[in-house]
């Protein structure tokens, strides 16, 4: 952990991934509301923020893949020993770009992810971060196989322009929330420590074809704001 963060100090890692960096971004609004409430409940806590659109994570390259395969073949390799497995400058660069991000995830007590739906899934900016931090064995105790993120709390502030709930025509096109739930479960995050708040039909207010759903969209956004406020006070 960073030297300026004392052991036992709560740490919030806050990520935004919406390409819309204006005030109109729903996921940025919801995420900011949670962060404010969380920080108010944890005076003296550490807060780390990254805008994945303004400061994108580089796509993983061939060196990352080669190093990851080599590490995975040895089982769960402690992070401090991965560098010794690197062969060549490319693999060294890939690991240098990866280790700080993995360390941030491991040190966070709460991870807050702003995740808009783009083309039925998550944004490319968020996917690049996911691919980078998902280094084989990074979240498993090398001694006993225990998942290191079992106690980490994850909050997803999500939004989608249309409607994807049960019974809607596009219910089967929702690869956003199922993907994120499966991903964090695979990392070892306990189910009870994952909270997802999503506002739907956010584009009903400005797309004519969705205009008849504007009231539903407004209710969904209001519900998401309320839910995020409650989470900020208790989770």
The reply, when asked if residue 119 is annotated as ligand binding, is: yes
Number of domains in the chain: 1
Pairing of strands 194-199, 11-16: unpaired
The reply, when asked if residue 193 is annotated as ligand binding, is: no
Any domain includes 43: yes
The reply, when asked if residue 120 is annotated as ligand binding, is: yes
Any domain includes 1: no
User: pLDDT in tens for each of the 235 residues of the chain?
Assistant: 444 677 789 999 999 999 999 878 999 999 999 999 999 999 999 999 999 999 999 999 999 999 999 999 998 899 999 999 999 999 999 999 999 999 999 999 999 999 999 999 999 999 999 999 999 999 999 999 999 999 999 999 999 999 998 888 899 999 999 999 999 999 999 999 999 999 999 999 999 999 999 999 999 999 999 999 999 999 9
Any domain includes 6: no
Any domain includes 93: yes
Domain containing residue 142: CATH number: 3.40.50.360
The predicted pLDDT at position 8 comes to 84
What value does the CA radius of gyration of the chain take, rounded to a whole number of Å?
19
DSSP 151-176: T-EEEEEEE-SS--STTSTTGGG--S
The predicted pLDDT at position 4 comes to 62
The predicted pLDDT at position 228 comes to 97
The reply, when asked if residue 18 is annotated as ligand binding, is: yes
The reply, when asked if residue 118 is annotated as ligand binding, is: yes
For residue 221, the enclosing domain spans: 11-234
Any domain includes 154: yes
Q: What is the dihedral of CA 104, 105, 107, 109, to 10 degrees?
A: 130
């Amino acid at each position: 952990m960073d030297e300026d963060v004392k052991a036992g100090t709560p740490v919030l890692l806050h990520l935004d991934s919406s390409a819309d960096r204006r005030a109109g971004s729903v996921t940025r609004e919801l995420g900011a509301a949670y962060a404010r409430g969380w920080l108010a409940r944890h005076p003296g806590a550490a807060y780390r923020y990254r805008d994945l659109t303004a400061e994108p994570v580089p796509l993983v390259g061939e060196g990352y893949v080669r190093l990851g395969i080599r590490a995975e073949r040895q089982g769960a390799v402690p992070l401090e020993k991965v560098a010794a497995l690197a062969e060549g400058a490319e693999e060294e660069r890939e690991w240098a770009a990866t280790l700080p991000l993995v360390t941030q995830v491991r040190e966070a007590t709460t991870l807050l992810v702003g995740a808009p739906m783009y083309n039925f899934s998550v944004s490319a900016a968020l996917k690049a971060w996911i691919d980078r931090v998902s280094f084989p064995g990074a979240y498993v105790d090398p001694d006993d196989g225990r998942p290191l993120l079992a106690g980490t709390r994850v909050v997803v502030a999500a939004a989608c322009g249309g409607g994807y709930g049960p019974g809607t025509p596009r219910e089967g096109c929702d690869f956003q929330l199922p993907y994120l739930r499966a991903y964090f479960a695979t990392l070892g995050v306990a189910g009870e420590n994952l909270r997802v708040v999503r506002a739907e039909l956010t584009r009903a207010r400005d797309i004519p074809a969705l205009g008849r759903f504007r009231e539903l969209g407004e209710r969904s956004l209001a519900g998401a704001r309320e839910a995020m406020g409650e989470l900020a006070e208790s989770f």
